[in-house]
Amino acid sequence: MRVLFSILLFICIISACERAPDELVTISGMTMGTTYSIKLMLGKNISDKDRIHADIESILTDVNQSMSTYIPDSELSLLNQSGSNDWQLISDDLYGVMLHANHVSITTNGAFDVTVGPLVNIWGFGPDPYTQEIPQESLLHETKQHTGYKKIELDLLANRILKSDPAIYIDLSGIAKGFAVDKIALYLDKNNIQNYLVEIGGELIGKGVNANQQAWQIGIEQANVFERSVQRIVNLNNMAMATSGDYRNYFEKDGVRYSHTIDPITGKPINHNLASVTVLDKSTMHADAMATAFMVLGTEKTHRLANELGLAVYTLSKTQTGFEERYNDSFKPYLSSQ
């Protein structure tokens, strides 16, 4: 599972360098421990830019205050700190994200699990000091006793959540950025902005066209730890995109490579050959979560499940001679010929 707010996708936004300054507006900043960038085609009247910027910042602040594990008094932090195993009321946003997370967990048979954070921590990939140490089996066993998405219950009639194990710790790093992207996109839709690209830490959605009157073009990075270069270009129009990978965030011990992606079932780093996976969907939140799950499942299981679900996926897998790319029929129409 990806470490909260880490950027595992190199975004290459290819748009015209020569454009009228009053046609394309860019709003950017920091949020959720990473960067965000929003490109808007506002036409010649950009008087609403400041209001839109303020509204977007407000949306991001609200999401952070609800779902961040880095803010001590966020809604999620207080839920994690709670020693209660009774039903607790939560906000609409947090409930919606938890409900979708549960859906993805069931769909992927536990490959996506928002309780995996403590396991990520003991392997040295969380907010705790990075140790590059392999945890003792006893510690691994004890930590696993307090993980598992099935230990979280949701009241389908009200915005309530119950932790059957009060020690359960919820980390929404594999889904929260996608949710925030969707929430901003919904805001832009309601304000009749038809052409935009919203990106937060590598999760993004594009609608309409860019300054060239073309679909937004996004680059998928080559799985190369030593340099950043584009493997493929995707045309993104009315579609969201999320990428997860393990080729940069890892450590080696006694000649063995340990990925930051932790399998919730085994409690250990993945050891298959899938280096990165890109998912396209109408929902950034769904693409975000599924990309996380697919990194756990590996190449073959990813393509099998993606085809069953009708999801567009693109994978880069390690081979003895380099990397092998593979994409399904649902992904093919979005690949640029450039």
pLDDT tens-digit series, residues 39-54: 999 865 567 888 999 9
The answer to whether the beta carbons of residues 100 and 284 sit under 8 Å apart is no
Q: How confident is the model at residue 150 (pLDDT cuts 50, 70, 90)?
A: very high
Residue 311 pLDDT > 50: yes
Encoded amino acid at 47, one letter: S
| Of residues 47 and 183, more confidently modeled | 183
What is the pLDDT, as a whole number, of residue 201?
94
Contact 317, 275 (CB under 8 A): yes
pLDDT band at 1 (very low <50, low <70, confident <90, very high): very low
The residue among 260, 242, 257 whose CA lies nearest residue 201 is 242
Tokens of 38: 């929003």
Calculate mean pLDDT across residues 92-97.
98
What value does the mean pLDDT take over residues 65-81? 96
- Residue 194 contacts residue 207 (beta carbons within 8 Å): yes
Distance (Å, whole) CA 249 – CA 28: 25
Contacts of 108 (CB under 8 A, 6+ apart): 290, 293, 296, 297, 305
Look over the chain and give the mean of its residue pLDDT values, rounded to a whole number.
Answer: 88
Residue type, 299: T
Strands (E), 171-229: 196-200, 203-207, 216-221
The residue-averaged pLDDT of 240-253 equals: 78
Q: How would residue 188 be classed by pLDDT, with cut points 50, 70 and 90? A: very high
The pLDDT score that the predictor gives to residue 133 is 77
Confidence of residue 218 (pLDDT cuts 50, 70, 90): very high
Asked if pLDDT for residue 230 goes beyond 90, the answer is: no
- For residue 11, pLDDT over 50 is answered with no
Q: How far is CA 39 from CA 6, 10, 215, 237, in A?
A: 21, 17, 13, 14
Provide mean pLDDT across the span 205-221. Answer: 92
pLDDT surpassing 60 at residue 13: no
In terms of C-beta distances under 8 Å and separation of at least 24 residues, what long-range contacts does 120-123 make, across chains too?
Answer: 120/1, 120/3, 120/171, 120/260, 120/262, 123/258, 123/260, 123/262, 123/268, 123/269
Please report the sign of the dihedral spanned by the C-alpha atoms of residue 79, residue 151, residue 171, residue 200: negative
CB burial of residue 187 (10 Å; 0-12, 13-18, 19+): middle
| pLDDT for position 251 | 65
The mean pLDDT of 87-107, rounded to a whole number, is 98
| Candidate from 12-16, 95-99, 206-210, 222-226 with smallest mean pLDDT | 12-16
Strands 256-259 and 13-14: unpaired
Torsion, CA 223, CA 200, CA 218, CA 100, rounded to 10: 80
Domain spans of the chain?
Answer: 67-163
More reliable by pLDDT, 28 or 14: 28
The pLDDT score that the predictor gives to residue 18 is 42
Which stretch, 26-35, 133-142, 281-290, has highest mean pLDDT? 281-290
**Backbone φ, ψ for residue 328 (5° rounding):** -95, 175
184 exposure class (CB count in 10 Å sphere: 0-12, 13-18, 19+): buried
Please report the pLDDT score of residue 329 as a whole number: 97
pLDDT for residue 140 is more than 60: yes
Q: Check pLDDT > 80 for residue 6.
A: no
Q: Give the chain's largest Cα–Cα span.
A: 64
pLDDT at 255: 65
User: What span, in angstroms and rounded, lies between the C-alpha atoms of 175 and 57?
Assistant: 19
Q: E-assigned strands of the chain? A: 13-14, 24-31, 34-41, 88-89, 152-155, 160-163, 196-200, 203-207, 216-221, 230-236, 239-245, 250-253, 256-259, 274-281, 312-318, 323-327
Residue 7 has pLDDT above 60, yes or no: no
We find that the CATH architecture of domain 67-163 is Orthogonal Bundle (1.10)
Lowest mean pLDDT of 20-24, 65-69, 110-114, 328-332, name the range: 20-24
Asked if 313 and 331 count as a contact pair (C-beta separation under 8 A), the reply is: yes
